[in-house]
Amino acid sequence: MSDHQRLSAAREDYLSARRTAILRGIWSSLTGTSNDLIPFEDLKKALGSAGQHYRGLQPVPLEKIIGSMGRSDDFDRAFLPTQSQTRGKWVSVDSAVREGVTLPPVSLYKVGDAYFVVDGHHRVSVARRRGQKFIDAEIIEVQSRVPVRADLTYQDLDVLAAYRDFLDETKLDQLRPDQDLLLTMPGDYRKLIDHIHVHKYFVDREQGRTMSWEEAVTHWYDYVYMPVVRAIRRHHLLDDFPERTEADLYLWIIEHAYYLSQELGQNVRPWEVAKEFARRFSRRPGRLWSRVKERLIHWLVPQELEPGPPPGTWRTERLEPPIEEPLFRDILVTLTGAETGWRALSQAAEIARREKSVLHGIHVLTPERSEDEEAVAFGRQVLQEFTARCQSWGLESTTSLVVGDVAQRILERARWVDLVVINQRREHGRLAERPLGTIFQTVASQTARPVLAVPGGPTSTLQCLVLAYDGSPKAREALFVFRHLLCKWHGKGIILTVGEGEETASDREMLDLAWQYIQECGATDVITRYERGVAADVIPRVMGEERADMLLMGGFGHQPLLKAFLGSTVDQVLRVAWFPVLICR
C-alpha cells in the first residue's frame, strides 16, 4: 500500500470514528446514560491526597481505560474522537499503525481497577477503534482508600468523596482492611454513621461502660453489618438487585427489618429478613413469576388445599446452629383464652426455659369480630394474662392482637419464628372431623416451621422423646430437631420405624444411620425400635410402653388434594394423642 493509500484509509477511519462518536453522543442524550471520560483531576479531588508508585511497563486492557488527564473533552468513553482538532494527530497515528510502525507505550495512571491516560490519547483511541484488546503502558499507581472500578461514571465521584469522608471519620479501612462499603447514593454514608452511633449507645448501656469510637466501629462492622452481608452472599441477593451494592442492600434490609419489628411487635434479626426482602421486592423474572403464581394460587385454590413449602425450607433459611446454641430462639404461641390453650402455653414455656427462647403470643380477631368491643376487650385480656404468666416464669415475651383470617395471620407470623405452638383439642366439632377441617391442620400443612401440637393434658417434662422415622425428607428434618434436643436437653431417645412386614436390611441400615447421626453429637441414651403394623396404631402404643413425653415426626404425608380424602398418619395420631407432637417439615 502506498503512502497516499495509507493516508486516505486513515482519514476514512477517522471520519468513521467521528460519525460513531456523534451517534453515541445522541444516544447518550436520549437515554440519559453517561458517555464521558472521567477527568483524572476531578477523581483525585474526590479521593484526596494519595501516594504514587511506579509499576513499570505492563499490558493493560483497553476497556479499563476510562479517563484522561487534561483531555477528557477530546474523546468519549469509548475513546472515540469528539473534537475536530484531534484529526491530524489521530490520522498520523492510524497511518503509522497501518504501516506497521512500532509505537512507544502510552503513559497511564492506575487507580484501583481503572486507568487514566497521561500521554498517548490518540494511540489509545486508534487501538480501540482497530479492535485491540490490550496496549503496552508505563504505569504509575495512585493509592486509593476507596474502591475505584472500571465501570465508574462521572456521577459516581460524589459517592467516592462521601465514602472517603466516611473512612476519615471511622478509620474503618485501617481497622478492617478488607472492608467494602461502597454505596450508590452519597447521602447514605451519613445513615451508616448514624447506625454506628445508635449501636454504640445500646452496647454502652448493655455493657455498662463507654466504648471508644474505634471499638464501636469494629463492633458494629463485625456484629451488625457483616452478618447481614453474609446472608446477602449466602442467598445471592445481588443477583436480584444487580445495580446495587452489598452496602445498599444492608441499608434496605435494616430499614425493612425495623418496619417489620414495629408491625410484628417483636425484634426481627436483620439477616433473617434478607431472603424475605428478595422474595417480596426482587425484579428478577423468576421472583416476579413466583409472586404472581403465589397470588393466583391464593385466589383460585381453597386455603386448606394450598401446597406447603418443600421439606427443609426452615433449616436452609437459617444456618444450622451449634448444639450449644438454641434451636428455637423464637416461639409463637396461639392464644384463644380457652383452658386447653393455657396448657399449650405451659408446654411452650417448658421448651422456652430449656432453649432460652422468647415467647410471642398472638390472638387473632376475625374481621367480623374486630368491631365488637367485647371481643376486642377479651383479646386484650387474654394477652395480658399471657404476659403475666410469662413474667411469673421469668420468660421474655411479646404480644400481638391482629385482625384477619386466623390461619393466614398465624402463617404470616410463623415466618419469623422457629416454632409454632397450637393447642390440638381432641373434640373438634362435627365439621372438624374432616381431615383438613381445623386451623391447626391448615397451619401445620403450610408453614415451613416445626409445629407443636399440644393435646391439652398435663405439661410434659420432656425427659423421653420418640422419633417416628421412615427416612423421608420430612422425617429427616424431624431427625435434625431430635438430634439437637437430645444433645442439648440430655434426655432419652427412641428412634421408631414402623413397617408392614419383617425388618429388612434396608430398614436396619436406615435406623443405624439415624442412630449414628445422633451419636455424633455425644448423645448416648438412644435406642432404635422396629415395629410391624399400622403406624397410626403402633406409634401411640410405643409412646405408652416407653412412657415417652413427646413425639417428633415428619409433616403430612399426602399431597393436599389426596390428603383431603385420605387423611394422614399425623391426623390419626393426633386424634388419640395424650402427649405433645412436634411436627417437622
Return the percentage of the chain with pLDDT > 70, whole number.
85
Lowest mean pLDDT among 57-61, 435-439, 473-477: 435-439
Confidence band of 280 (pLDDT split at 50, 70, 90): low
Pick the more confident residue, 307 or 268. 268
Kindly tell me if the per-residue pLDDT of 398 is higher than 70: yes
What SS3 state is found at 558? coil
* Phi, psi of 526, deg, nearest 5: -135, 130
- Of 167, 151, 59, 66, residue with least CA distance to 105: 59
Confidence band of 559 (pLDDT split at 50, 70, 90): very low
Mean pLDDT, residues 443-465: 86
Pick the more confident residue, 266 or 530. 530
Angstrom CA distances, 162 to 33, 185, 379, 437, stand at 22, 9, 50, 59
Element (H, E) at 385: helix 373-393
Predicted local confidence at residue 39, as pLDDT: 94
Kindly tell me if the per-residue pLDDT of 424 is higher than 80: no
Kindly tell me if the per-residue pLDDT of 306 is higher than 60: no
Predicted local confidence at residue 541, as pLDDT: 94
| Cβ proximity of 39 and 72 under 8 Å | yes
Which residues, including other chains, have CB under 8 Å from residue 230's CB and lie 6 or more apart? 271
pLDDT 10s digits, 351-365? 999 999 999 999 999
Mean pLDDT, residues 248-258: 87
Q: Is 494 left (phi over 0), alpha (psi -120 to 50) or beta?
A: beta
Q: What is the DSSP string of 288-310?
A: HHHHHHHHHHHHHS-GGGS--PP
Predicted local confidence at residue 317, as pLDDT: 56
* Phi, psi of 134, deg, nearest 5: -130, 160
Kindly tell me if the per-residue pLDDT of 271 is higher than 70: no
Kindly tell me if the per-residue pLDDT of 562 is higher than 60: no
Kindly tell me if the per-residue pLDDT of 163 is higher than 90: yes
Mean pLDDT, residues 170-182: 93
Predicted local confidence at residue 510, as pLDDT: 92
Strand 358-365: give its sheet, edge to edge: 397-403, 358-365, 330-334, 419-423, 451-454, 581-584, 550-554, 464-468, 492-499, 526-532
| Cβ proximity of 178 and 142 under 8 Å | no
Kindly tell me if the per-residue pLDDT of 408 is higher than 90: no
Q: Is 84 exposed, middle or buried (0-12, 13-18, 19+ CB in 10 A)?
A: exposed
Kindly tell me if the per-residue pLDDT of 85 is higher than 50: yes
Predicted local confidence at residue 387, as pLDDT: 96
Kindly tell me if the per-residue pLDDT of 321 is higher than 80: no
Average pLDDT of the chain is: 84
Kindly tell me if the per-residue pLDDT of 585 is higher than 90: no
For CA atoms 293, 299, 305, 308, the dihedral sign is positive
Confidence band of 564 (pLDDT split at 50, 70, 90): very low
Kindly tell me if the per-residue pLDDT of 566 is higher than 50: no
Is pTM beyond 0.85? Reply is: no
What SS3 state is found at 364? strand
Highest mean pLDDT, choosing among 4-18, 55-69, 410-424:
55-69
Predicted local confidence at residue 431, as pLDDT: 33
Q: Which domains does the chain have, with CATH numbers?
A: 3-150 (3.90.1530.10), 156-281 (no CATH), 325-585 (3.40.50.12370)
Pick the more confident residue, 205 or 257. 205
* Phi, psi of 231, deg, nearest 5: -65, -40
Which residues, including other chains, have CB under 8 Å from residue 6's CB and lie 6 or more apart? 95, 98, 99
